[in-house]
Structure 1
Amino acid sequence: MAKQQIEDKIRDKLAIKLNLIEDGLTYIDDEYHLKNPNGAGGFVDIFANDTNNNFVIIEVKRSDAASREAITELSKYVALLKRKKNLKNSEIRLIVISTHWHELLVPFSEFYHATNYQLSGFKLTVDKDYNPISVEKIEALPEIEGRNICRRHFIRYYKTYDDLLDSKKEIVKQATTLGIHDFILVVFNLNFVDPFYGATKVLYWAPQLKSREFYIEKLTEVLDSESLNEILETIDELDDEDALDELSERLDGEIDVTCETCEIGYPEKLTDRLNEMWSLEKVFKHGVFQEDERLSEPMILMDLKGLNGASFMHFFSTLKSENRSKFNEIESNIETPFFNNSIWKHDVKDIISYCKKKTHSTMLISIFNKDDIFETIWQSISCRDSKLWAPRFFVIVDPNDSSKAVEFFSGEIVWERKQFEINNIIQESFKNFEEYLFARHFGEQRQHNHLLMEKMGLKYVTNYKKVGKKVETDLNDILIRNKTISEKSKIETVPFDTFLTENINELMILFNYFENAHVGNGMFANF
């Protein structure tokens, strides 16, 4: 019997036994015709209705060769059905049912994670007469998140390059034994004299982030029961992201090699070191990182510095307006740099929604957000340049057309000329400056930042400029609603520089607290 005749027979017999798939499915039609005004139409194998009054498209396949076409056909049919009946996405369900899943599982899984339609898959068992006997629900493969480097890194210091290379070989060997295959090793030069260890080189370890199941499986193989239970109890109290960081660090810590000294690394620390003391010498890619020929040293450095959304301070990205996946990625990734800044997080998400409506445009997004107004004041006075330290962001929307205007969104801190006493603010929030430093050591000062700013009369605002040959708009402290940009209620404010200048005597109290406690390289006495 021909393949199509067999599929037709299975389809016809399944159409009267839809309860095998799900109770409450109601048959509407088979070979349901969908016309296409822009090309070839199509025929839905089984068209049904569920108990929630949603339409259900059921695609039936019985061979590996035929199953390859299933996802393409589903994509076509759902688009035609939406147009024909003016449906919402939530009113359509998709079901793939096949006797063979060898060729179908990967494309099904990718479509499952990429689409917002309700999609289900089932493996169908038939008897010798092609009567449907049973179905088994298919679970999609885990979503492939793409390149995702752990936030926690390992930094090892060496006196000579030969010492470093010997250690590198041992790291690769031990990592392989542990089941860690996907990682990056970077060699940095120290551009200063190390008075403590005489180190001249750094070997920087950064692995791909894996699943909780992966780490627990690998740790079970190398830890005794007491140590394993200890780490499992620790992660029970953490959210998913922090738990994965802890598990990754614990497994990475099983790599034991000789070095002068070592320390934990993370994106913000690497950014500081590269700005001050380190320079890149070489990158070694292992495992999946080797497979991407596009993955250049600058791209790797951007990932290691967390500019893709792993850093709590920095973010940078460019995209074309047509790249919807990039928009979604950015919306998710800005959660980290704006973790404690709900005002700018809300504003930038509104800006992204605004930009999504643009066509043929290029966007650039840059964020620097250090949630520590005390340190911002100290560093700004110390460097005599607040532009290096004041939190800010900007989004540039370029229409790539000289006849159209370029749009600029920018975030800044402004002052409402409120009077304050710095010692009172410190006492109310931390009791004393030493308690602030203690909170800062654990990153807990971030959650106080908004209140500290409020007590000094500081606030985050977002501004807008539109510049072109015929149009020039300049709005401060804006509100975005869909395509409309307007100013909020007018309250007199002045720039952050003015705040520093007009309050310099009061702020020098804070400055001196920092200077008296600072011992160099961002370190403070007793911390």
Structure 2
Amino acid sequence: MSESKIRDKLISNLSIFDMGLELVGKEYFVPNSEGTRGFIDILAKDNYGRYVIIELKRSNSSSRQAIHEVLKYIEGLKENKSLKDDEIVSLIVSTEWNELIIPFSSYVSKFNSEVVGFKLHIDESHNPISVDKIKPIEIQNERVFSHNHTCYFYFDKNSMNAGLKSISDSYLAKGIEDYVLVVLKYDAVSVDQDKSIVGFRECFNLSNEMVSLNFLVYTSNQLLSDVRYLKIIKSNENILEEFDEDYISSLKGLDKTEELNRIVLDQLPFAKKDYVELGYPAKFSHDILECGWEVLYIKRYGRVLNNDILTDESIINELKGLTGHDYCIYQKKFRSLEHFKNSSMEMESCLTHHYVWRKGVASAVQDACNRLDEKILNSINSYIFNPSNTLYTINLMIKSAMQSENVEQWIPRYFIDIETDDYFYKYYGCLIELDLGAGEIDLNKVIEDCYEGNESKIIKSQAHGGFDKNDCEFVMTYGLEYANYLVVLNKKENVENGFYYNGFRYCRAESPHPYAAIINFIKTRTEFCKSIYELYDRHDLGGGFFIH
């Protein structure tokens, strides 16, 4: 039976959707001045007074066209009836969903207009019997490397070559096909003494002699979808025995995906190695690449190998965490204003738990696009450093100052620098000082107010880089606050104006140096900052490890 006959029978049974639908018309013509006119299978109104587009498909071949049709009808209806996105609901109704589930799920995750999927059940005479609401699946096709890395160290080239094959065998045995192996050699000649000590590794060989580890295979895999991980887990009885489904269900987003990835990888067989350590983006960036390890080459596998536009530099930057997926660091140069706009969600994702800067970045993108609409761009660059634990930041700044190292490297900040022929715009975020009076701040009082009086809760956060999602609120208890600013330089007239973003708009104001407040805070709040340093020093085991 044709779709049109099923459509006519469905019109007589709109109550099947339980939405209080009232028919407006069938084969409803939608004109559009841009040429995307068409006929909506069924147009109705629901019990909230919204227009409801019903697109009916009954085979895999025809269901492929459903998303395109719905997009066309939504835009046509909006233009024709002066509607907003929230005044339209689209129902995609199909008897087959094999070909439709992925484009449907992708549409639901990316577009504003509400789209609901239904699987239609019909009897032998093709009469509609019932519908089942389709749950969109989580799609993870975009390349995201896990932030849980592994460092396999080897004494010599022969043991490393054997290790390379065993690492690949280990991945494949666990159902992981998309990964990279970065092969490095230790060479401290071009690195200063302090950094070479951090990079240097040695351990006992089979003869019980302490021998240098000269080669490293640094590896991470591309994250799969949660659905794919769960299939791997449920097909492995050894994993399934200890699998805590309730705990996994309590996690969200990348935290859930990373935990599923860890569960899958933390199983036999393990790769051959002379020594092994866990890795993570900051370690790869600071303790490996900056401390005597030289990249020899990169081996790619699976879909990563199929990507012929992916450069080695991009892989290195992603392993260093510059994509923002770890909520800490983001760095990118943009090719165009459109590229900048399309990357705004990446920047905001890096600031998922930093509501002040996240709002500032979203506003900066909108403001910049309004200002630059008619201007020719020379460059757009962005950088975000969001460690999200200002107490630990203060500790690191003090330690660096005591060792005559670069203090500024630890300071939280973001900037978006945009340059045209005539103007330079700097949108930036920084810490500013609050006026809490002249009295000294008590660290014990801060711990009581923010960490339930338990200092070990501060130290425990070091297990995942010191991240604290409540940092925006906590800093205000001891006299700091996160803020957003803009500086506009008219290059021809050499005139500079500063603006403060108040949460709604940019207001003319003096724009402070992004490092000034926290540096001044450490200089003036000496007893408080000394207490912070002593707190971390009491729990410091060295090598980046803390006891709590």
The TM-score, its normalising length taken from structure 1, stands at 0.81
What amino acid sits opposite 2:498 in the alignment? L
**Residues of 1 paired with 2:34 and 2:13: CA distance?**
35
2:270 counterpart residue number: 256
What amino acid sits opposite 2:201 in the alignment? D
Structure 2 vs 1, CA of residues 235 and 64 (structure 1 numbering), >3 Å: closer, same or farther?
Answer: closer
**Residues of 2 paired with 1:106 and 1:238: CA distance?**
23
Tell me how far 1:464 sits from its aligned partner. Answer: 1.8
Residue 53 of structure 1 aligns to a residue whose secondary structure is coil
Tell me how far 1:68 sits from its aligned partner. Answer: 3.9
**Residues of 2 paired with 1:451 and 1:96: CA distance?**
44
**Residues of 1 paired with 2:461 and 2:17: CA distance?**
56
User: C-alpha offsets along residues 400-437 of structure 1, whole Å, 9 cap, x if unaligned?
Assistant: 5x24x231122334556976768x537864999x9699
Structure 2 vs 1, CA of residues 267 and 520 (structure 1 numbering), >3 Å: closer, same or farther?
Answer: same
| From 507, 519, 532, the counterpart of 1:485 | 507
What amino acid sits opposite 2:411 in the alignment? A
| From 328, 334, 344, the counterpart of 1:313 | 328
43-52 or 234-243, larger mean C-alpha shift: 234-243
**Residues of 2 paired with 1:216 and 1:436: CA distance?**
32
**Residues of 1 paired with 2:131 and 2:539: CA distance?**
69
1:463 counterpart residue number: 485
Query: Do the aligned partners of 2:25 and 2:43 also contact (CA within 8 Å) in 1?
Result: yes
1:472 counterpart residue number: 495
Matched, 1:288 2:303: yes
Structure 2 vs 1, CA of residues 19 and 263 (structure 1 numbering), >3 Å: closer, same or farther?
Answer: same
Tell me how far 1:218 sits from its aligned partner. Answer: 3.3
| From 242, 246, 266, the counterpart of 1:229 | 242
Tell me how far 1:511 sits from its aligned partner. Answer: 6.8
Residue 148 of structure 1 aligns to a residue whose secondary structure is coil
Structure 2 vs 1, CA of residues 442 and 91 (structure 1 numbering), >3 Å: closer, same or farther?
Answer: same
2:317 counterpart residue number: 302
1:16 counterpart residue number: 12
Residue 149 of structure 1 aligns to a residue whose secondary structure is coil
2:48 counterpart residue number: 52
Query: Do the aligned partners of 1:60 and 1:97 also contact (CA within 8 Å) in 2?
Result: yes
Structure 2 vs 1, CA of residues 63 and 30 (structure 1 numbering), >3 Å: closer, same or farther?
Answer: same
1:175 counterpart residue number: 171
Tell me how far 1:459 sits from its aligned partner. Answer: 4.1
What amino acid sits opposite 1:317 in the alignment? K
Structure 2 vs 1, CA of residues 382 and 476 (structure 1 numbering), >3 Å: closer, same or farther?
Answer: farther
Tell me how far 1:385 sits from its aligned partner. Answer: 4.0
Residue 212 of structure 2 aligns to a residue whose secondary structure is coil
User: C-alpha offsets along residues 331-386 of structure 1, whole Å, 9 cap, x if unaligned?
Assistant: 22322xxx4x5543443343244345455566422012332222223224533543
User: C-alpha offsets along residues 86-116 of structure 1, whole Å, 9 cap, x if unaligned?
Assistant: 1121111112334555554443343333322
Tell me how far 1:252 sits from its aligned partner. Answer: 1.4
What amino acid sits opposite 1:292 in the alignment? N
258-267 or 244-253, larger mean C-alpha shift: 244-253
User: C-alpha offsets along residues 191-217 of structure 1, whole Å, 9 cap, x if unaligned?
Assistant: 345344511111122122234454454
Mapping for residues 150-165 of structure 1, pairs under 5 Å: 150-165=146-161
Matched, 1:322 2:343: no
**Residues of 2 paired with 1:237 and 1:96: CA distance?**
30
Unaligned 5+ segments in structure 2 are: 189-199, 204-210
**Residues of 2 paired with 1:470 and 1:275: CA distance?**
42
Identity %: 25
Tell me how far 1:137 sits from its aligned partner. Answer: 4.5
Tell me how far 1:153 sits from its aligned partner. Answer: 1.5
134-143 or 375-384, larger mean C-alpha shift: 134-143
Structure 2 vs 1, CA of residues 215 and 28 (structure 1 numbering), >3 Å: closer, same or farther?
Answer: closer
Matched, 1:378 2:399: yes
Query: Do the aligned partners of 2:327 and 2:350 also contact (CA within 8 Å) in 1?
Result: no
53-62 or 445-454, larger mean C-alpha shift: 445-454
Query: Do the aligned partners of 2:347 and 2:361 also contact (CA within 8 Å) in 1?
Result: no
Residue 338 of structure 2 aligns to a residue whose secondary structure is coil
Matched, 1:412 2:430: yes
Query: Do the aligned partners of 1:381 and 1:511 also contact (CA within 8 Å) in 2?
Result: no
Matched, 1:267 2:281: yes
User: C-alpha offsets along residues 23-62 of structure 1, whole Å, 9 cap, x if unaligned?
Assistant: 5221111222222223253222221111221111122345
Residue 322 of structure 1 aligns to a residue whose secondary structure is helix
288-297 or 438-447, larger mean C-alpha shift: 438-447
Unaligned 5+ segments in structure 1 are: none
Mapping for residues 141-156 of structure 1, pairs under 5 Å: 141-156=137-152
Query: Do the aligned partners of 1:305 and 1:311 also contact (CA within 8 Å) in 2?
Result: no
**Residues of 2 paired with 1:170 and 1:156: CA distance?**
11
353-362 or 289-298, larger mean C-alpha shift: 353-362
**Residues of 1 paired with 2:135 and 2:40: CA distance?**
23
**Residues of 1 paired with 2:280 and 2:466: CA distance?**
18
Number of residue equivalences:
510
143-152 or 118-127, larger mean C-alpha shift: 118-127
| From 376, 391, 394, the counterpart of 2:415 | 394
Query: Do the aligned partners of 1:480 and 1:486 also contact (CA within 8 Å) in 2?
Result: no
Structure 2 vs 1, CA of residues 474 and 480 (structure 1 numbering), >3 Å: closer, same or farther?
Answer: farther
Mapping for residues 211-226 of structure 1, pairs under 5 Å: 211-222=225-236, 224=238
**Alignment root-mean-square deviation, CA:** 4.1
**Residues of 1 paired with 2:93 and 2:477: CA distance?**
62
